């Protein structure tokens, strides 16, 4: 969760390309503009007061105007930032959201954030096509919501520190001072998903982070708690559309 004691107000969301080293971060801030945040390489994590959104190269993160957020790089991150005035909201969304990035949308984002920032007819046409592609981009559920209930937070913290922990919710409940049914209701009410769904999202987040750091697929599968490497590959491919072995070789 961003540290609200040190939030910066940056009126305009810049359109630019920025390199971040592994583990480097951009502190909590907010803009008067909307922003599309895309990782051309590496893995991007965007954290707000209600959770963390994460995206490899097949995803981008929509950050609406006024939303306090912080960035963190996993692997060598080529960060592409695209600012849009408050009156231009091609997604019609007022909450952070992960969207799919097609090969065409990827090239449009790269070209727009690298091109000279002027209002030439060519650049305006490029933005118009980019906005059309954004409107057609499906949303993707790649998020780790942040719990507020201390009992739920205790369980989530245990698994954050050890995503391979295979204990059932009933077993984990003993560490939280709450019953299994209570925790199950809290997962649905606070996080909008079941415990198994949240744990899968957690493991995918940690797997992306480790793959960006060039950890082997087998080691990632073991560290993140999958029963086998093949099981990890299957879940990862269904979530992101490519295999973990190709993660760092994607253009």
Residue at a domain's end among 116, 140, 164: 140
Domain co-membership, 41 together with 97: yes
Domain co-membership, 126 together with 35: yes
Domain co-membership, 230 together with 245: yes
Say if CB 85 and CB 33 are below 8 A apart.
Answer: yes
**pLDDT < 50 stretches in the chain:** 1-2, 4-5
Gap between the Cα atoms of 50 and 95, Å rounded:
10
Domain co-membership, 121 together with 233: no
> Tokens for 176?
């939280």
pLDDT at 128: 93
pLDDT tens for 118-127 read: 778 888 899 8
Domain co-membership, 124 together with 162: no
- The CATH number of the domain holding residue 168 is 1.10.10.60
pLDDT at 4: 43
Domain co-membership, 213 together with 229: yes
Gap between the Cα atoms of 98 and 57, Å rounded:
12
Buried b (16+ CB within 10 A) or exposed e, 163-184: beeeeebeebbeebebebeebb
- Residue range of the domain that includes 46: 4-140
Say if CB 58 and CB 98 are below 8 A apart.
Answer: no
pLDDT at 248: 63
Residue 84, strand partner residues: 34
> Tokens for 73?
């790089």
Residue at a domain's end among 140, 158, 179: 140
- Indicate the number of domains in the chain: 2
pLDDT at 202: 93
Say if CB 173 and CB 180 are below 8 A apart.
Answer: yes
pLDDT at 166: 92
- The CATH number of the domain holding residue 22 is 2.60.120.810
Domain co-membership, 15 together with 64: yes
Domain co-membership, 133 together with 153: no
pLDDT tens for 42-77 read: 888 888 888 888 888 888 999 999 999 998 888 888
C-alpha closest to that of 212 among 23, 66, 82, 69: 23
User: Most distant CA pair in the chain: distance in Å?
Assistant: 63
Residue at a domain's end among 140, 164, 181: 140
Helices 121-135 and 103-114 cross at an angle (nearest 10°) of 140
Domain co-membership, 160 together with 108: no
Q: Reduced to 3 states, what is the DSSP secondary structure of residue 201?
A: helix
Domain co-membership, 113 together with 53: yes
Q: Tell me, what DSSP letter sits at residue 244?
A: G
Question: Pairing between strand 97-100 and 59-63?
Answer: antiparallel
Alpha helix segments (H runs only) across the chain: 103-114, 121-135, 150-161, 169-173, 180-191, 195-212, 217-223, 229-240
Domain co-membership, 8 together with 97: yes
Domain co-membership, 133 together with 159: no
Tell me how far CA of residue 247 lies from CA of 98, 116, 158, 206, in angstroms.
Answer: 18, 30, 27, 14
């Amino acid at each position: 969760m961003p540290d609200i004691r040190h939030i910066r107000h940056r009126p305009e969301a810049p359109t630019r390309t920025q390199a971040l080293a592994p583990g480097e971060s951009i502190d909590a801030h907010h803009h008067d503009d909307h922003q599309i945040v895309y990782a051309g390489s590496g893995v991007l994590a965007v954290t707000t007061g209600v959770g963390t959104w994460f995206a490899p190269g097949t995803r981008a993160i929509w950050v609406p105007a006024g939303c306090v957020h912080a960035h963190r790089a996993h692997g060598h991150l080529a960060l592409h930032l695209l600012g849009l005035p408050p009156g231009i909201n091609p997604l019609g969304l007022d909450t952070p959201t992960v969207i799919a990035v097609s090969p065409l949308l990827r090239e449009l984002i790269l070209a727009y954030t690298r091109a000279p920032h002027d209002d030439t007819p060519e650049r305006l046409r490029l933005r118009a096509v980019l906005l059309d592609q954004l409107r057609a981009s499906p949303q993707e559920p790649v998020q780790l919501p942040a719990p507020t209930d201390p009992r739920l937070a205790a369980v989530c913290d245990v698994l954050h520190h050890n995503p391979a922990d295979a204990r059932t919710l009933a077993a984990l409940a003993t560490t939280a001072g709450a019953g299994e049914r209570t925790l199950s209701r809290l997962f649905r009410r606070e996080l909008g998903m079941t415990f198994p769904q949240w744990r899968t999202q957690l493991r995918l987040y940690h797997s992306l982070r480790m793959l960006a750091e060039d950890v082997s697929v087998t080691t990632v599968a073991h560290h993140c708690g999958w029963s086998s490497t093949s099981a990890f590959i299957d879940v990862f491919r269904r979530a992101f559309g490519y295999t973990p072995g190709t993660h760092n070789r994607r253009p």
